[in-house]
Amino acid sequence: MESLRKYLDKIKPNFEEGGKHPKLKSTFEAFESFLFVPNETTGAKGAHIRDAVDLKRTITMVIIALLPALFFGMWNVGYWHHAMTGEEAGFFSNLFYGLGQVLPIIAVSYISGLFLEFMFAQIRKEQVNEGFLATGLLIPMIVPVDCPLWMVAVATMFAVLIGKEVFGGTGMNIVNPALLARAFLFFAYPGKMSGDKVWVAGYGDADKVVDGFSGATPLGELAHGTAFDALTAGNEQLSVLDMFLGYMPGSIGETSTLCILIGAIFLICTGVASWKIMFSGVLGVLAMGALLNVFGTEAYTQIPFWSHLLLGGFAFGIVFMATDPVTAAQTETGKWIYGFLIGVVAILVRVVNPAFPEGVMLAILLMNVCAPLIDHIVVRQNVNRRLNRAKAAVASK
Amino acid sequence: MSKIIKLKQGLDINLVGEAQRSVGQTVAATEVSLKPADFACLKPHLEVKVGDKVKAGSVLFTDKNRPEVRFCSPVSGEVTEVRRAERRRITDVVVKADGQNDFEKFDTSKASSKDGAKALLLQSGLWPYLRQRPFNIVADPSQDAKAVYISTFDSAPLAADYQFVLKDRLADFQAGIDLLSKIAPVYVGYDAKISGNIFANVKNATITGFEGPHPAGNAGVQINHVCPVNKGEQVIVVNPQDVAIIGRLAKDGIYDAKKTIAVAGSKVKSPAYVSTVANASISGIIAGNYDATDARIIGGNVLTGTKLDDKGYVGFYDNEITIIPEGNYYDFFGWALPGLKKYSFSHTFFSWLSPKRKYDLDTNTHGEKRAYVVTGTFEKLVPMDIYPLQLIKAILAENIELMEELGIYEVAEEDFALCEFADTSKTDIQAIIRKGLDLMVQETM
């Protein structure tokens, strides 16, 4: 430790103004503060002691919370690939196959995004914010496994540039950058982002597919008019337990409600993500699902209202995307409204709009945009309370 | 039976080094200094020169904008030095005590009227002990106050305990309330957790009990629940020990600046109380009683205080000196390790599983400044009907109208001290609040 510290202190002047590599100052600082929490002390006036938490710690918690879903996703990629080809495969060969498919996507996402982050930090003469470390892992988890790597790179850079840096960088963005990346892919390259063939690794150009293998997501099948009972009945079919555990094709990290739930509990215990958003989001889904059950006439509207929680990207979206504090509502009351509306809109788009098999992404993006309005309305209540109090005080004089 | 208000938001940070409830020593101050920087927005006008002899209660400087507000020497002696910083800004007016305790005598006979009471406080130099909400500045004597508010407990970590400090001065305290009640109705807040609280039975005041974690003891927080400040109103805030000094003035017509100061913190060898005078030099108070290597000496408490060097002076409104370790070290992978011994309001370190533990915190910032990302933390720390994050952002945007709407008139820096402590982005929130208050002073006064 000591020798590493000494080495850093020795090379540090190279990156200062007038040193050999002043253009790499932000980069050096990012790595230095990664290794060592700096020796900065508090100012002469104000709080002389500070909480041990910082943004690095907070983002680390998010990444830890993502790991169960990520590892399950890797295994699931291998499982469905082998199910398609009909090969016998054990736990580890499934996992390693998935690892081989998913790691390149993660690497591409991190490299392309961090390159821009470091560049912008240097241009602004700021330090690199850690926010992208979460975004860079979220993006691979919400794309289909067969998404070409160059598309991941383009989408990531689009999200960082247009989603974040043009607004002023971390903390200033209006929509969640990871979801923006996905939306970009969805609308720019729909062929690679939807349909029945993108969810299983190697399906698009497979020579040999097991008879009767579909590769469609359960949501895709439901959207095509398959009844829920038909989907879950019989031995070969998908049981409700399978849905909960995540044995179904889908975006890499989104399928296992169980693993996402573990992540959610971790985020709530550490206080990093708002339980209010998650809870009200679930309420929103249940309310909208029940409403459709009562008033809907088509088969899709009649699937059990609770099953919406297990299907598609809702669980992942509400736990990891909707709770992004920068783009969510920032007032506590606002969080209830924001979460609830995400649930409602997600199911509305999912079931009622035939153009989109899944509505979670659009619902969260829409509510990201509406969050400042929700906050405005909530804060106005406080302002009006204060105004009325002042008026009453004047009147009583 | 007085009303009791329970507050939920806030945080008690348990630190080692609490002052024992005993007066360790009596330190006769050899030197005192009045620092204009203790008073926000003050432009001082010097009324003495080096070599002048002064008594306790003789004017040292006045407020340029309100010449009737006088700042007076707490001891008798000789003005030995006027220290200045850049652009000749006065930082210290130093008086060397002669040990004679000669007092200026003030006429208390007219103090039974509002104007008489104000005049007495202004004349004697005790008026600056009266601060006002809004703006947390010395009260404007030309305005009619809506209330005088006294919080009789300080809930900040390692703060002085007024139950102990004032236990023998209750008569002075009551006399102070009686005088202040001439100016405006007096409200007193007391700590309802303490049974047999010595302040629960003061007369001539509306009494409210408060229960809850820090900042329940902040006057601003209590005012928000008892008599909230509206635009154009003024509520005067006085520290309890200063009320006793005012009481002494009312009884005997002198500025007797005797004060009991807590000396606390993990760097202090035997934390206890010291009897001295206001604005005293700290060198005599702490000498030999602390570990000087890498020590941060703070006038006031760890959340709101001012860094002092070992030859500094107790601040005008300070009731404690806190000494904690400096944190100028590198922490290898400090953000990644489990952190069983690291203290955090968030639950991101495992230390939250042992809430009773006492901590020896240092001045390390534990991370660098970042953009605002995390939300929901400040709301758990400010027990007022105010949206802290929104107010901070309005100040940063210098949006005067919005600041007004969001309650800038009701807050002081100290009410946001815990936010500054817990902020993930490591911003200096109290400095931002002060900036907002200064801006409002410029706009409205």
CA dihedral angle for residue A56, residue A61, residue A65, residue A71, rounded to 10 degrees = 50
CB contact under 8 A, B371 and A56: no
Contacts of B423 in chain A (CB under 8 A): 50-51
Is pLDDT above 90 for A301?
no
How far A318 CA lies from chain B's nearest CA (Å)? Answer: 17
> Is residue A298 very low, low, confident or very high in pLDDT (cuts 50, 70, 90)?
confident
Beta-carbon-side half-sphere exposure of residue B292 (alpha carbons within 13 Å): 9
Is pLDDT above 80 for B79?
yes
Instruction: Name which of A6, A35, A57 to mutate to probe chain B: the one with the most chain B Cβ atoms within 10 A of its Cβ.
Output: A57
> Is residue A11 very low, low, confident or very high in pLDDT (cuts 50, 70, 90)?
confident
Helix (H, G, I), strand (E, B) or coil at B297: strand
Encode pLDDT of B148-182 as tens digits: 999 999 999 999 999 999 999 999 999 999 999 99
pLDDT of residue A353: 83
Average pLDDT over every residue of A328-351? 95
Residue of B nearest to A391 (CA): B230
Is pLDDT above 90 for A377?
yes
A36 touches chain B (CB under 8 A): yes
pLDDT of residue A194: 82
pLDDT of residue A238: 78
Task: Give me the count of residues in chain A.
Answer: 397
Average pLDDT over every residue of A290-304? 88
Backbone phi, then psi, for B79, in 5-degree steps?
A: -70, 115
Q: Lowest-pLDDT range, A234-248, A270-284, A338-352, B51-65?
A: A234-248
Helix (H, G, I), strand (E, B) or coil at A385: helix
Is pLDDT above 80 for A204?
no
Contacts of B429 in chain A (CB under 8 A): 46
CB contact under 8 A, B331 and A41: no
Average pLDDT over every residue of A370-395? 94
Q: Determine the residue type at A100.
A: G
pLDDT of residue A332: 94
pLDDT of residue A209: 81
Instruction: Name which of A54, A56, A60, A373 to mutate to probe chain B: the one with the most chain B Cβ atoms within 10 A of its Cβ.
Output: A54
pLDDT of residue B336: 82
Mean pLDDT of chain B: 93
Supply the DSSP symbol for A153: H
**To the nearest whole percent, how much of chain A has pLDDT over 90?**
62
pLDDT of residue B415: 96
Average pLDDT over every residue of B226-232? 92
CB contact under 8 A, A48 and B348: no
Average pLDDT over every residue of B303-327? 94
**To the nearest whole percent, how much of chain B has pLDDT over 90?**
84
How far B54 CA lies from chain A's nearest CA (Å)? Answer: 31
Task: Please give the C-alpha separations between residue A372 and each of A284, A310, A368, A377, B51, in angstroms, as whole numbers.
Answer: 20, 29, 8, 9, 62
Residues B296, B363 contacting (CB under 8 angstroms): yes
**Cα distance between residue B321 and residue B339, in whole Å:** 29
Residues B313, B92 contacting (CB under 8 angstroms): yes
Average pLDDT over every residue of A143-165? 94
pLDDT of residue A237: 67
Encode pLDDT of B353-388 as tens digits: 888 889 999 999 999 899 888 889 999 999 999 999
Is pLDDT above 80 for A207?
no
Residue of B nearest to A383 (CA): B405
Q: Lowest-pLDDT range, A167-171, A298-302, B63-67?
A: A298-302
Residue of A nearest to B334 (CA): A37
Residue ranges of A 329-358 with Cβ closer than 8 A to chain B? 330-332, 335
Encode pLDDT of B245-289 as tens digits: 999 999 999 999 999 999 999 999 999 999 999 999 999 899 889
Residue of B nearest to A56 (CA): B335
> Is residue A234 very low, low, confident or very high in pLDDT (cuts 50, 70, 90)?
low
pLDDT of residue B1: 56
**Cα distance between residue A34 and residue B176, in whole Å:** 56
pLDDT of residue A144: 93
**Cα distance between residue B437 and residue A172, in whole Å:** 25
Task: Supply A198's token pair.
Answer: 């993108």
Supply the DSSP symbol for A331: S
Name the nearest CA neighbour of A216 among A198, A230, A228.
Answer: A198
A294 touches chain B (CB under 8 A): no
Contacts of B303 in chain A (CB under 8 A): 47-49
CB contact under 8 A, B370 and A171: yes
Rg value, chain A, Cα: 24
CB contact under 8 A, B375 and A131: no
Task: Please give the C-alpha separations between residue A319 and each of A123, A323, A357, B310, B331, in angstroms, as whole numbers.
Answer: 33, 6, 20, 52, 32
> Is residue A3 very low, low, confident or very high in pLDDT (cuts 50, 70, 90)?
confident
Helix (H, G, I), strand (E, B) or coil at B272: strand
How far A252 CA lies from chain B's nearest CA (Å)? Answer: 26
Edge-to-edge strand ranges of the sheet holding B23-26? B23-26, B272-277, B258-264, B320-325, B295-299, B306-308
Across the strands, what pairs with B147? Answer: B235
pLDDT of residue B149: 97
How far A177 CA lies from chain B's nearest CA (Å)? Answer: 14
Residue ranges of A 193-212 with Cβ closer than 8 A to chain B? none
Q: Lowest-pLDDT range, A163-167, A319-323, B186-190?
A: A163-167
Encode pLDDT of A302-317 as tens digits: 889 999 999 889 999 9
Burial of B197 (0-12, 13-18, 19+ CB in 10 A): middle
Across the strands, what pairs with B259? Answer: B276
CB contact under 8 A, B367 and A47: no
Average pLDDT over every residue of B295-304? 95
Edge-to-edge strand ranges of the sheet holding B53-54? B31-34, B90-97, B77-84, B53-54
Indicate left, alpha or beta for B136 from its phi (over 0: left) and psi (-120 to 50: alpha).
left
Nearest to A330 among B296, B362, B375 (CB): B375
Q: Identify which has the larger pLDDT, A224 or A107.
A: A107
How far B166 CA lies from chain A's nearest CA (Å)? Answer: 27
Task: Please give the C-alpha separations between residue B40 and each of B9, B48, B435, in angstroms, as whole numbers.
Answer: 28, 22, 10
CB contact under 8 A, B373 and A131: yes
CB contact under 8 A, A271 and B431: no
Average pLDDT over every residue of B347-357? 84
CB contact under 8 A, A49 and B306: no
Q: Identify which has the larger pLDDT, A354 or A323.
A: A323
Beta-carbon-side half-sphere exposure of residue A315 (alpha carbons within 13 Å): 28
CB contact under 8 A, A54 and B304: no
How far B383 CA lies from chain A's nearest CA (Å)? Answer: 14
**To the nearest whole percent, how much of chain A has pLDDT over 70?**
99
Encode pLDDT of A55-102 as tens digits: 999 999 999 999 999 999 999 999 999 988 888 889 999 999 999 999
Q: Identify which has the larger pLDDT, A357 or B21.
A: B21
DSSP line for B339-359? -TT---SSSSSGGGG-TT--B
Would you give the distance in Å from CA A146 to the centre of its chain? Answer: 19
Q: Where are the beta strands (DSSP E) in chain A?
A: 36-37
Residues B406, B387 contacting (CB under 8 angstroms): yes
Task: Supply B41's token pair.
Answer: 């927005």
How far A136 CA lies from chain B's nearest CA (Å)? Answer: 17
CB contact under 8 A, A41 and B365: yes
pLDDT of residue A337: 97
Q: Identify which has the larger pLDDT, A342 or A130.
A: A342
Mean pLDDT of chain A: 90
> Is residue A236 very low, low, confident or very high in pLDDT (cuts 50, 70, 90)?
low
Record the pTM.
0.93
CB contact under 8 A, B368 and A33: yes
Contacts of A38 in chain B (CB under 8 A): 330, 365, 367-368
Burial A331-343 (b: 16+ CB within 10 A, else e): bebbbbbbbbbbb
A171 touches chain B (CB under 8 A): yes
Encode pLDDT of B408-445 as tens digits: 999 999 999 999 999 999 999 999 999 999 999 998 87
Encode pLDDT of B112-142 as tens digits: 999 999 999 999 999 999 999 999 999 999 9
DSSP line for B359-418? B---SB-SS--------SSGGGT--SSS-HHHHHHHHHTT-HHHHHHTTGGG--GGGGHH
A265 touches chain B (CB under 8 A): no
Residue of A nearest to B157 (CA): A49
Is pLDDT above 90 for A203?
no
pLDDT of residue A233: 64
pLDDT of residue B238: 97
Task: Please give the C-alpha separations between residue B395 and each of A375, B417, B438, in angstroms, as whole numbers.
Answer: 17, 16, 11
